[in-house]
Amino acid sequence: MEKLSDDAIIHQEIERVTDLIKKMGGDVKHKTDEHVALFPATNNTVTSHPGGLPFNGESKKITKLGSRETKSENTVVKVGDIAVGGEQLTIIAGSCAVETVEGTNEGGRLLQMLGADLMRGGAFKPRTSPYSFQGLGKRGLEILADARELIGIPVVSEAVDPENFDLVEQYVDLVQIGARNMQNFSLLKRAGRSSKPILLKRGISATISEYLMAVEYIMAGGNYNVILCERGIRTFNDYTRFTLDISCIPELKLQSHLPIIVDPSHASGRRDMIIPLSKAAIAAGADGIMVEVHPFPDKALSDGYQSITFEHFARLMKELRALAPAVGRKL
Ligand code: PEP
Ligand code: MN
């Protein structure tokens, strides 16, 4: 039998995958001799295939939904009226966890005055120890949503499992999936069926390809509004909580069209590093930052040691405003 050329094999494979996707109810939107972009019509069945396809052992030939090869221009994700990923930088600020009505309302008002675009606050906290404060649950979401109504600032909070996703989704403008859940595939699939945008944090030991594959789980379900978030990875260094992977910012920008937010609070675990790391992130091309702020950091119920005060936040904003034009951004 005549031996097929590499190109012919790839071509044959592309035809085979295209047929497979169509049979599974998917829709192939973009097809070249090199790439097949997958836009599954309904669920995620199709996404389990690309990684497993032979393609001469080169499964990378399959273009992913979050990839620059699928879409060359930057994606701007709308969260309420806020556009994330455009020229304007996005600032997300607030306490690690929602604690009190007064603190959330007053804090939110102050943060907005100082220039925050979104307010953060965890209601379901994925804590290392089961004996630590676990968050106020549904009450926390109610407090956050009330503050949004009162102040007019969009809010973000974390969903920790597919069951409480339904609840979180009802109350917030942006649903966060935390680092520890980056590969919680049932949670990712649930996020893929959501009409709300998703902030997907990078896992503490995740490679960039694992991270971008986790993104695919959400996009393959039909939710294209995904915001990336680098929050530090585990390394051997022992002077910070994690290590902010600055180089992942240009790499993610190269590989993906999705916006990237950097979280210097969890990355460093040190309030004295928030300003320098935020500036480094913006200089490296991040689309914004997410930072923990608390009126009395030493009294915070979680992550107080990495939380900054409102005065410190004001200084951070001043320094970022000075930096932004130098890297072609607005703030
Ligand atoms: C958080 O942002 O509240 C949080 C728990 O972060 P991470 O998932 O990055 O640890
Ligand atoms: Mn925290």
Class of the 77-327 domain? alpha beta
Digit-coded pLDDT (tens) for 284-303: 999 999 999 999 999 999 99
Residue 125 Cα: closest atom of ligand 1:
5
CB–CB of 174/197 below 8 Å? yes
**Helices H, strands E: what count in the chain?**
10, 12
Digit-coded pLDDT (tens) for 130-143: 999 999 999 999 99
The preferred substitution site among 134, 136, 176, 183 for testing ligand 1, maximizing ligand atoms within 8 Å of CB, is 176
Distance CA 231, CA 241 (A): 11
Average pLDDT per block of 10 residues along the chain, 331 residues long = 71 72 61 53 35 38 78 96 98 98 98 98 94 96 98 98 96 98 98 98 97 96 97 98 98 98 98 98 98 97 97 98 98 98
Place of tokens 């030493």: 298
User: How many angstroms is it from 47 CA to the middle of ligand 1?
Assistant: 27
Domain boundaries along the sequence of the chain? 6-63, 77-327
Q: Is the dihedral of CA 128, 133, 138, 143 positive or negative?
A: negative
User: Tokens for 220?
Assistant: 């393959």
Distance CA 126, CA 137 (A): 12
Buried b (16+ CB within 10 A) or exposed e, 217-229: bbbbbbbbbbbbb
Residue 275 sits at the vertex; the CA angle it makes with 234 and 260, to the nearest 5 degrees, is 60
Which amino acid residue places its CA nearest to atom 3 of ligand 1? Answer: 96
Distance CA 18, CA 7 (A): 16
Answer whether 96 contacts ligand 1 (Cβ < 6 A).
Answer: yes
